[in-house]
Amino acid sequence: MSKNLYAQQSKLPRLPVPALEETLEKYLESAKPFLSTDEFKNSKQLLDSFKDGQGKLLQQRLLKRASEKESWLIDWWNSQGYLEPRDPVTPYSNYYFYHRQLIGNNQPRVAASLIKATLAFKQLVDTEELEPENIKGTPLCTHTYQYLFNSTRVPLRDSDKVVKFDQSNKHVIVISNNRFFKLDASNPNNLESQLQHIIDISSDKKGDAIGSLTTENRDIWSDARHHIQSISKTNSESLKAIDSASIIVALDESAPISRDQASWGAWVGDGRNRWFDKHQIIVYKNGKSAFNAEHSAMDGMITLRLNEFIMGALASKKISLGESTPVKQLEVEELKFELDNKAREYIANAEKHHDAIMGAHTMDVIQYDGYGSNLIKSKKISPDAWVQMVKQLAFWKLRGRAPGVYESCQTRKFLYGRTEVIRPTSNESTEFVRLMRDFNASDDARINALHAAAKRHLTYAGWAANGVAVDRHIYGLKNCLKEGEELHPALKDAALARSNKWELSTSQLSSPFFDGWGYSEVAADGFGLAYSIQDKSIRWTITCTNGEGKDLGHCLTESANELRELMEKA
């Protein structure tokens, strides 16, 4: 048995601490589209003052931390970015993938197939036989694979924790009609029969919506969990069975038809028949399926690989259930919860709070079939840069100004690397949009501006991937401030801060096996904007609470058409 998964870890470089002067130059340059002439002058003076004063001190502290730790960032990032925020993990942290329908419409058969394929991937992770990823020969950090299975996020007051359980646990937890079942998945030939059995015995009565508690404010959920555990040993054992399971499988009563319906169900469902503290597979009544990911321990590329393995194995018929043999002894155990009035009040409040939050949200899936990466590449432009410029133009159409845009970029070429921010809004992108909006501008000028904007985008993406972009460095400097010390005005400057108000929170994950993916907005009046670029299509999933999702979708389609028309003149 060859143990490959973590073999490269000891050879990975550490995340660098960028040069202070370079970061501040990049920060000012990326903020320029948001600043008036006077504001730019003032912000430059503030940053120069910071560089020569407090910035130098904080940089020294950060360099010292980096010399003493394997990663100067990871502990801060995991805690402050994921485990300490008290907002509900759904919709504000978890994300989803909606699968293409590949293997029919029989719910228990689809669920059994997905479980078997998932456990095949788990076997590769557990034995460490899984090959680590690399980009052009550069190995990527695989540290977070250990939390893919048999782990959970546990709610605690002030800060949650991620707990890893024995990987030899092969059971999965199946949720059906709000009721929880522990399923021994060690015999794949029995899976379909057992899942049908679960559906049959759970159909008569809906359970108390224990799962809704995972949609609650984390402090409230912590209190509720503590109370439920205090009621009986049975409750504690049921929670432990859930926590330690390989994965969660939610069998839904709903049978969505449209992408919008299926995507909403994958994102949040009804908030009851789910368990958002763990990764979960969702199978609808009509056999459509999805995956909801708990985000605190890992980012999308790991769960993407799992889902591509699952769907690829099923598409190529490498996973066979064999004969679905009836069994004398079903390996299904219903998990019991003994609840009192206080516990039921926690559940009722969680349902009410979740419904209020999601009642304010909209989701619009825009499937654009005008063209995709094939056409974009034929114009000698990066597809990602092109699609980011479509978004810039669309936002200008909607609101008449440049957007603050976050684009996620993985930094897994470094030990314990997670993500950095690409800042797609630039002087070049702003000039491109200005020319597109100027009816007197020439097509040649617009085309040149698009190429310049795309080139700048790739430059910034390179900085992000190499750990020398702006946002994580400034985050690290702020964390080096000691108690009682006042943060320099440069890092509190309202004008500069416009560039990092993430009105468009964007991230690209593309797979031929997905019919969509998405997550929440991060700014109150902004948009979550997950996107995928296929050979002949582009898909955006727009989430927001501002009621402008359909308007932005219209502007994206219009802008995508305009870029095609422009480049066909080239």
Active site residues: 295
- Contact call for residues 549 and 543 (beta carbons, < 8 A): yes
Using CB atoms within 10 Å of the CB of residue 516, give its burial: 0 to 12 exposed, 13 to 18 middle, 19+ buried.
buried
| Distant-in-sequence, close-in-space partners of 567: CB < 8 Å, separation ≥ 6 | 379, 381, 447, 450
- Contact call for residues 30 and 470 (beta carbons, < 8 A): yes
Measured in whole angstroms, how far is the alpha carbon of residue 15 from the centre of its chain? 22
Q: Return d(Cα 215, Cα 174) in angstroms, integer.
A: 18
Strands (E), 120-223: 134-135, 138-139, 151-154, 161-164, 172-176, 179-183
Q: Which two tokens stand for residue 180?
A: 């929880």
Q: Return d(Cα 220, Cα 348) in angstroms, integer.
A: 13
Element (H, E) at 15: none
Residue type, 10: S
Question: On the CB side of 298, how many CA atoms lie within 13 Å of its CA?
Answer: 24
Locate tokens 């058969």: which residue? 109
* Cβ neighbour number for residue 504 with a 10 Å cutoff: 25
Using CB atoms within 10 Å of the CB of residue 48, give its burial: 0 to 12 exposed, 13 to 18 middle, 19+ buried.
middle
Alpha-helix residue ranges (DSSP H) falling in 211-279: 218-231, 233-244, 259-267
- Contact call for residues 8 and 132 (beta carbons, < 8 A): yes
Determine if the peptide bond prior to 91 is cis (ω within 30°). yes
Question: On the CB side of 480, how many CA atoms lie within 13 Å of its CA?
Answer: 24
Q: Which two tokens stand for residue 425?
A: 């809004």
Q: Is the dihedral of CA 276, 411, 67, 47 positive or negative?
A: negative
